[in-house]
Amino acid sequence: MTEQLRLMAVHAHPDDESSKGAATMAKYVSEGVDVLVATCTGGERGSILNPKLQGDAYIEANIHEVRRKEMDEAREILGVRQAWLGFVDSGLPEGDPLPPLPEGCFALQDVEEAAGALVKLIREFRPHVITTYDENGGYPHPDHIMTHRISMVAFDAAADPDRYPEAGEPWRPLKLYYNQGFNRPRTQALHDAMLERGLESPYGEWLQRWDEFQRKDRELTTYVPCADFFPLRDKALIAHATQIDPDGGWFRVPMEVQQEVWPTEEYELAKSLVETSLPEDDLFAGIRDN
């Protein structure tokens, strides 16, 4: 293609873009691809997960503003563009029975109506490829599940001139992927590699829970080589300081082990309007030469 390739990554909260597919995005940016992160909510109800910042009165009182600044820093590190869809974080309900979701939050919006904001952004940016979450949200956070729902509606609706006519000229994205970076083969490979090297693995409990919950493995169709960009991914993740402890479990597998044992990020091809053969090593397979 003589036209510049464009990738849109749809995420629920600020920090999701840095923990899911960040090295892929940085790789494509380095190749001249225009990459836009669409962030559905502001993360207003996110907990302060970094123990070093817990109890900080300013952060607690200004979490929305703080998380927006963290997103700005991560965006600069990855070299991507970023847009807010403007929905309000639903929080993660806990307890038995689960409490109701807060009134007005993202997860309680009408799906067709909420998808309009994403349709507008798709028509403005005109991506060839979109990444999002599967029907389980990657994990069952209500905002992640809602992100999946509006992404599926918007992928089809963006090309239909009869739907959302107020949202601009129609545009047809060509491929839709689910992020599947947290998959069992990768987790098992890194776990085994740590034990083989005499190191403590952070994934033992993960794998045990996988068995306990009988979590079904997803189909991995696309493996994007991006190991050179793992350090940039981690730097972007650390920029979300309220959410990530730099001394925590995210970083317990040495970088050289990650790059050697599992040098890719993985995706599940959910929709494609171009011919491609699986497995792929490129989100733009079938598009570059079309």
Query: Each residue of 199-238: b (16+ CB within 10 Å) or e?
Result: eebbbeebeeebeeeeeeebebbbbbebbebbebbbbbbb
Claim to verify: residue 206 and residue 225 sit in the same structural domain: no
Is residue 53 domain-resident?
yes
Is residue 289 domain-resident?
no
Claim to verify: residue 159 and residue 267 sit in the same structural domain: yes
**From residue 103, how far is each of 14, 106, 228 by CA, in Å?**
21, 9, 43
With pLDDT > 90 as the criterion, what percentage of the chain qualifies?
Answer: 88
Determine the pLDDT at residue 210. 83
Task: Supply the CATH number for residue 122's domain.
Answer: 3.40.50.10320
Tokens 């995420």 sit on residue: 11
Q: Is there a binding annotation on residue 16?
A: yes
Claim to verify: residue 39 and residue 93 sit in the same structural domain: yes
Query: Does an H or E element contain 135, and which?
Result: none
Is residue 190 domain-resident?
yes
**Beta carbons within 8 Å of 226's beta carbon, 6+ residues apart:** 23, 24, 26, 27, 263, 264, 265
Claim to verify: residue 101 and residue 188 sit in the same structural domain: no
Q: Is there a binding annotation on residue 13?
A: yes
Domain total for the chain? 2
Claim to verify: residue 116 and residue 212 sit in the same structural domain: no
Model pLDDT for residues 54-73, shown as the tens digit of each residue: 999 999 999 999 999 999 99
Q: What is the mean pLDDT of the chain?
A: 95
Claim to verify: residue 177 and residue 188 sit in the same structural domain: no
Is residue 282 domain-resident?
no
Is residue 122 domain-resident?
yes
Using the predicted structure, report yes or no on whether residue 214 has a pLDDT greater than 70: no
Confidence class for position 209, pLDDT limits 50, 70, 90: confident
Determine the pLDDT at residue 157. 98
Claim to verify: residue 119 and residue 206 sit in the same structural domain: no
Is residue 250 domain-resident?
yes
Please name which of 177, 206, 181 lies closest in space to residue 192, comparing C-alpha atoms. 206
Is residue 288 domain-resident?
no
Determine the pLDDT at residue 17. 98
Using the predicted structure, report yes or no on whether residue 235 has a pLDDT greater than 90: yes
State the residue range of the domain holding 196: 184-217
Claim to verify: residue 29 and residue 111 sit in the same structural domain: yes
C-beta separation of 283 from 222 below 8 A: yes
Determine the pLDDT at residue 2. 54
Confidence class for position 176, pLDDT limits 50, 70, 90: very high
Claim to verify: residue 112 and residue 213 sit in the same structural domain: no
C-beta separation of 147 from 40 below 8 A: yes
Is residue 290 domain-resident?
no
What's the pTM value of the predicted model, to 2 decimals? Answer: 0.96
Claim to verify: residue 70 and residue 194 sit in the same structural domain: no
Claim to verify: residue 52 and residue 83 sit in the same structural domain: yes
Please name which of 163, 162, 280 lies closest in space to residue 225, comparing C-alpha atoms. 280
Determine the pLDDT at residue 139. 83
Determine the pLDDT at residue 53. 94
Name the burial class of residue 16, with classes exposed (0-12), middle (13-18) and buried (19+) by CB atoms within 10 angstroms of its CB: buried
Tokens 């730099």 sit on residue: 246
Claim to verify: residue 211 and residue 231 sit in the same structural domain: no
Model pLDDT for residues 105-138, shown as the tens digit of each residue: 999 999 999 999 999 999 999 999 999 999 999 8
* Opening angle at CA 285, ends 283 and 287, nearest 5: 105
- What one-letter code names the amino acid at 35? V
C-beta separation of 89 from 13 below 8 A: yes
